Structure 1
Amino acid sequence: MSIDFKQVIEENKEPFYQDLDQVMQIESVKGTPAKNAPFGTGPKAALETVIALAQKYGFKTAIVNDAVGYAQWGDDEDYIGVVGHLDVVPAGEGWSFPPFKLSKRDQRFYGRGILDNKGPILSCLFGLKLLKDLNLPINKTIRIVFGTDEESGSGDIPLYLSEEKAPQFGFTPDCKYPIVYGERGIVNYEILTPLSEEELKRLGDFIGDQARDHVPDELSVTIDDKKVSVTGKRAPSNAPELGENAIMLLAEKILQEQALSGKLAEYFSWIVASLAEQHYGEGLGIDFLDADSGKLMITPYELIKKDDQLSLSLAIRYPVSVTEAEVTTALEKHLPPKSRLTVVRRIESSHFPKEDPNVQALSAIYEEVTGLDGTPVTTTGATYARFVPNIVAFGPSFPGQKGIAHNQDEYMDEEDLLLNMDIYMQAMLKLIE
């Protein structure tokens, strides 16, 4: 049976947009744990809304430990899994559109989560509905799985796997194309540098939006009661080269204005010399690289006063052939005097055999639909593929599309959203035939 997937999608896109908008309007940012909502009421509301849609589409559904839901087609215990998430990062400032609504201008959709990850995972759900509506025969059970804590450490996945089997194989539509078979290791460090009480009295608190998921874009501090402020450019922390880091800009401005002297001036000089426009660790002696995953990547993301110390936090993504211990050993040799290095977060690298027949099948589908090279690749990002056994990352961003997800005016072109649905429909059908 020959199916014109593009025509099927075109005929049904308006109902899809309506359902997607319903989910986009929920501010599903992680919040305080509540009864039956371990990651806050926003993510749980999004989960319940999507499960209601899945029931309307005619799927078997369930919510596991109030943390993860699924829509299932088929009755077997073993299943193919498509694993995405409904939680989103905070909106932040500077939007041209309402962040929690599906907006459209010039054939481009805007809204928090349109790319990461409500748009892609809802396109999988709706695409599976279209396949089911065609009454196609299937030989394997498939589940669309909806998480609610991917952006904050994937604490939802252990709650799911404690009750449910892992998929036989599957993918997460939460990275890039083509198939991502390997994800770099991630380690976050805190560098604590002691300073005298007299020196620290000269500094006020550092004020700005600083978090590990993005390059900080605004930062200010008072020095001897005079405010020093800078404005940079926000970017995802796994694409620091696309941003302008406010920590670096502030350090440079302090030095240019000769606002500080002594140990404080030496500290900010170290920041500039070691980190400014040195995204691959070359200023700290950690410029590791390998053929599969490329260069190590470093993002300074938080500078604060902490007791009698200054605390600088770094997010590092290192190649799959490198160990965390190697990074730590090298980094310790390039710190300011008397500084202490602490690991505050670690996620080991992940690797899936790129020769696997299912990986090759996804690669072939991608090449057939897009005409682009489908050779499997690695990523600097962190997805559910690190936490859910037997899955790889697959889409939704196409080559050349980078640094969109966690920014203001997060967007996805309508053409790309529908092309994703086409790819995912054909991929799911191939995996369950």
Structure 2
Amino acid sequence: MKVNKDILLNQYFDEAVEETKKIVSIPSYRRELAVGSPVHKDTRKVLSHCIELCKSWGFETFISDDYKYGYADYGKKDKLFGIICHLDVVPPGNISEWHNPPFQPKVIDGKLFGRGTFDDKGPTMMNLFAFKYLIDNGFEPDYTIRFIFGTSEETTWECMEAYVKNERLCDLGYVPDGHFPVVYAEKWISDVDLTGNFNCDFEIKGGEVYNAVNDLVSYKGPKTEEIKVELKKLNIDFFEKDGLLWVKGISSHGSLPFKGVAASSSLLYVLNKIGFTHPLVQFVAKYSHDNFEMKEIFGDLTDETGGLTACNGIIDLNKEKFLYTFNFRIPCTRDYDKEVNQKLKDFLKQYNIELTVKKIEDRVYFSKDGDIVKNIMSVYQEVTGDFDSQPIAIGGGTFAKSMPNMIAFGAEFDLEESTMHAYNEYVKIEDLKKMMEIYAKSLVKLTKIK
């Protein structure tokens, strides 16, 4: 089947954008749950919306009893082709940092702003409507097509754990939550807690998730004026409110900590500079602050998939104990346990800091010469005219890790302009159009069995 770009964009794109706005307006980030409720009401709402949309198109649909996941099937072929999307988002953070309210999506200067417009609600709708165009125009895939909707990608992944435990795995498929042209490798991801007991006279608190650079932390304790002087020297913004000193940073995705500024790290660096002797202060200031590969501890772990990166997401330090988290992205060929987790655990003993591994995400690796990578590359080149870009490796962890034979395909075009997990998240309208065209043409090629 030949995709008619004019019909695709003129008859399907505007509705896809409107449906994107509808689900972006639902604040589906993780919060405290009502007693007896397995998921937040907004999670149920956004999942139900997508399922009802697919049902209105004639798909067979399913939602798990606990609303952790749902899916929509088209066709009854023997093999299953999956498109795994996620409907949860990271928290909006400090609302005052948004130029437009995060859950009131709006197109401004050719960009659709709102939390989740890019990660992952916009790409989800572009895929749904790309496929709707295909079946409306007579396309019959050789696979049953299954859109899988997860609800905890940004946190626990319990949605896909439940899916894999209870449902049929896909024979082939992709995840529109990575980068273009195609992601042939995804690094290991390790979430770890650094904890310890230490009596002190100050408190620091900030961050909400492991996989985003914290951009605001509070400080309560002595030497506030000295701290402010040093923060000014480093051009670190701060303010005082409710008897606390608030230090500001710049949020960024956990796989791109070098694009952000961890408020926690800046503060601990300053505390060390003015003589604080807390073990966490000393460790972070010497080995972690503005040092994303931490080579003094790990050495150079770089391979073809890139180097190691470390992101601090959460800090909770009080007068008796402390918690400090790292989200590590570890090159594919490395031994994540021996070369990172165990090495750091041994290193921290000199500071009386304990390390606990909270989560490990497996790596993903496809041959650049395999059929799926070659097919995706050919469609990407046809649509964009870009014959220079090559399959890439990323530090980000996508649902491609949740089951075999899944690959991350899109939806980010320009990593340097990434707004995933950042304030004022947006996606360009022109990029949404390119997504829709790429996914429509790719589904034609990928879902026909030779």
Is 1:183 aligned to 2:186, yes or no?
A: yes
Is 1:388 aligned to 2:388, yes or no?
A: no
Name the aligned partner's letter for residue 268 of structure 2: A
Quote the offset at 1:412 in angstroms: 0.2
Name the aligned partner's letter for residue 4 of structure 1: N
CA distance in 2, matches of 1:315, 1:216: 12
Q: 1:181 to 1:153 in 2, by over 3 A?
A: farther
Counterparts of 1:208-287 in structure 2, within 5 Å, are 208-224=206-222, 226=224, 227-256=244-273, 258=274, 260-261=275-276, 263-264=277-278, 267-287=280-300
Q: 1:253 to 1:394 in 2, by over 3 A?
A: same
Are the counterparts in 2 of residues 229 and 250 from structure 1 also a CA contact under 8 Å? no
Show CA shifts across 1:166-221 (max 9, x none): 111000000111211221111122223443x3xx1x11x31333421211112221
Equivalent in the alignment of 1:322: 334
Q: 1:311 to 1:16 in 2, by over 3 A?
A: closer
Equivalent in the alignment of 1:312: 324
Quote the offset at 1:61 in angstroms: 2.1
Show CA shifts across 1:52-76 (max 9, x none): 1112223232223432222222112
CA distance in 2, matches of 1:229, 1:220: 4
Counterparts of 1:70-85 in structure 2, within 5 Å, are 70-85=71-86
Are the counterparts in 2 of residues 31 and 42 from structure 1 also a CA contact under 8 Å? no
Equivalent in the alignment of 2:232: none
Is 1:299 aligned to 2:316, yes or no?
A: no
Equivalent in the alignment of 1:424: 439
CA distance in 1, matches of 2:188, 2:421: 20
Quote the offset at 1:10 in angstroms: 2.7
Q: Where does structure 2 lack aligned partners over 5 or more consecutive residues?
A: 225-243
Show CA shifts across 1:214-267 (max 9, x none): 1111222122384544211111121111111111211233244x2x44x33x65
Which stretch shifts more, 5-14 or 234-243?
5-14
CA distance in 2, matches of 1:284, 1:169: 39
Name the aligned partner's letter for residue 54 of structure 2: A
Show CA shifts across 1:357-412 (max 9, x none): 12221121111111224532211011111112210000000143454111111100
Name the aligned partner's letter for residue 291 of structure 2: Q
Quote the offset at 1:17 in angstroms: 2.1
Q: 1:388 to 1:274 in 2, by over 3 A?
A: same
Q: 1:222 to 1:67 in 2, by over 3 A?
A: closer
The alignment yields a C-alpha RMSD, in angstroms, of 2.3
Q: 1:304 to 1:138 in 2, by over 3 A?
A: closer
Counterparts of 1:12-161 in structure 2, within 5 Å, are 12-32=12-32, 38-65=38-65, 66-93=67-94, 94-161=97-164
Which stretch shifts more, 141-150 or 2-11?
2-11
Q: 1:176 to 1:61 in 2, by over 3 A?
A: same
CA distance in 2, matches of 1:408, 1:303: 20
Q: 1:34 to 1:238 in 2, by over 3 A?
A: same
Which stretch shifts more, 325-334 or 128-137?
325-334
SS at match of 1:52: helix
Equivalent in the alignment of 2:205: 207
Quote the offset at 1:350 in angstroms: 2.4
CA distance in 2, matches of 1:3, 1:329: 52
Quote the offset at 1:104 in angstroms: 0.5
CA distance in 1, matches of 2:177, 2:71: 17
Which stretch shifts more, 88-97 or 27-36?
27-36
CA distance in 2, matches of 1:105, 1:141: 38
Name the aligned partner's letter for residue 222 of structure 2: D
Q: 1:315 to 1:87 in 2, by over 3 A?
A: same
Q: Where does structure 1 lack aligned partners over 5 or more consecutive residues?
A: none
Normalising by structure 2, we get a TM-score of 0.87
Q: 1:303 to 1:19 in 2, by over 3 A?
A: closer
Equivalent in the alignment of 2:363: 349
SS at match of 2:393: strand
Are the counterparts in 1 of residues 24 and 105 from structure 2 also a CA contact under 8 Å? yes
The count of corresponding residues between Structure 1 and Structure 2 is: 423
Normalising by structure 1, we get a TM-score of 0.91
CA distance in 2, matches of 1:210, 1:79: 37
CA distance in 1, matches of 2:41, 2:171: 31
SS at match of 1:214: coil
Q: 1:149 to 1:332 in 2, by over 3 A?
A: closer
Name the aligned partner's letter for residue 59 of structure 2: F
SS at match of 2:439: helix
SS at match of 1:237: coil
Are the counterparts in 2 of residues 296 and 317 from structure 1 also a CA contact under 8 Å? yes
Which stretch shifts more, 228-237 or 59-68?
59-68
Name the aligned partner's letter for residue 424 of structure 1: Y
Name the aligned partner's letter for residue 302 of structure 1: I
Q: 1:310 to 1:283 in 2, by over 3 A?
A: farther
Are the counterparts in 1 of residues 98 and 423 from structure 2 also a CA contact under 8 Å? yes
